[in-house]
Amino acid sequence: MKILPTEFDGKPIRRVYDEATETWWFSVIDVVQVLTQQVDYQAARKYWNKLKERLVTEGSQLVTDCHQLKMPAADGKQRLTDAATAQTLLRLVQSVPSPKAEPIKLWLAKVGYERMQEMSDPSLSLNRARETWQQQGRSEKWIQQRMTGQETRNKLTDYWATHGISKGDEFAILTNIIHREWADVSVKEHKSLKGLESQNLRDHMSEAELIFTALAELSTRQIAEAEDATGMDENKAAATQGGGIAKQARTSLEQKTGKSVITGANFLPPTTKVIKAKKK
């Protein structure tokens, strides 16, 4: 998942984009804080807890539709918090009497409209991504490789979507097969190696890692196309073979350079450790 900052009337509202399901998830407490016009975050959290109890008592489905996801807290750490889709929040807003209700409904609709624009014109999404990476200090060479890799990824998922593979869990299963084959580690293990939690792994890959990921996914698609792979079993076989081709290239390079392609390097901002002096 990818965490992106956003605001409503100058108030930060955390949101997470799940690339596997192509869904935005918003922090419920952040939205509640705006609706109730609470200055204190803890007051908003207490309001939401009471509202949840009332909704459960009333038999509402809204609480069930919320999920706990990790988002950055005030202390900078990733902490679990209730999150909901724009659709769920639009219904939730109706449960909170607030003059901000209509404006935030319009804001949520706007976020959805922006996503629709990006789907009809992918260049808009790419332009926003490029600007974000430039602000984060990525080199133009890295950005170009990241965008090329994303195009390769999109062509693969487009193939899956038209050949009996469902978005979400099945996309994730095939992606993990490809990754484990070429990298000898799963996506989860690779993220752990880099010290990542909810961050997007590809946003923290080195240039070499991006290139081999793209090679694995390109090989997978071309093998699947050549065999007209349909359904999970046939596409699992293509994923294994495609990842294996990239693994051969990776191991050959590592033998020549004596360096591992898979690294723990990331682009996370440096953390500042505060050491408290002990009182005697």
| Domain(s) of CATH 3.10.260: residues in the chain | 2-119
**Distance, CA of 59 to CA of 34 (rounded, Å):** 25
- The predicted structure's pLDDT at residue 70: 86
Adjacent-strand bridge partners of 23: 18
CA 187 to chain centre: 13
Q: Which residue has the higher pLDDT, 53 or 114?
A: 53
Backbone angles phi, psi at 75, to 5 degrees: -85, 5
Note the pLDDT tens digit of each residue in 108-157: 777 654 554 444 444 445 666 777 788 888 899 999 999 899 889 989 99
- The predicted structure's pLDDT at residue 212: 97
**Distance, CA of 2 to CA of 264 (rounded, Å):** 19
Note the pLDDT tens digit of each residue in 194-211: 998 778 899 999 999 999
CB proximity list for 130: less than 8 A, separation 6 or greater = 143, 147
The shares of helix, strand and coil residues in the chain, as percent rounded to the nearest 5, are 60, 10, 30
Q: Hey, what CATH topology would domain 2-119 get?
A: Mlu1-box Binding Protein; DNA-binding Domain (3.10.260)
The model carries a pTM of 0.59
Scan for tokens 């976020």, then name that residue: 111
User: How do beta strands 2-4 and 7-8 pair?
Assistant: unpaired
**Distance, CA of 110 to CA of 128 (rounded, Å):** 16
Cβ atoms within 10 Å of 219's Cβ, excluding its own: 23
**With 90 as the cut, is the pLDDT of residue 276 above it?**
no
CB proximity list for 245: less than 8 A, separation 6 or greater = 182, 215, 216, 219
Helix and strand totals (H; E) in the chain: 11, 7
Scan for tokens 């959290």, then name that residue: 45
Note the pLDDT tens digit of each residue in 67-101: 998 888 877 788 899 999 888 888 888 888 888 88
CB proximity list for 202: less than 8 A, separation 6 or greater = 146, 149, 150, 210, 213
User: Are 219 and 246 a contacting pair, CB within 8 Å?
Assistant: yes
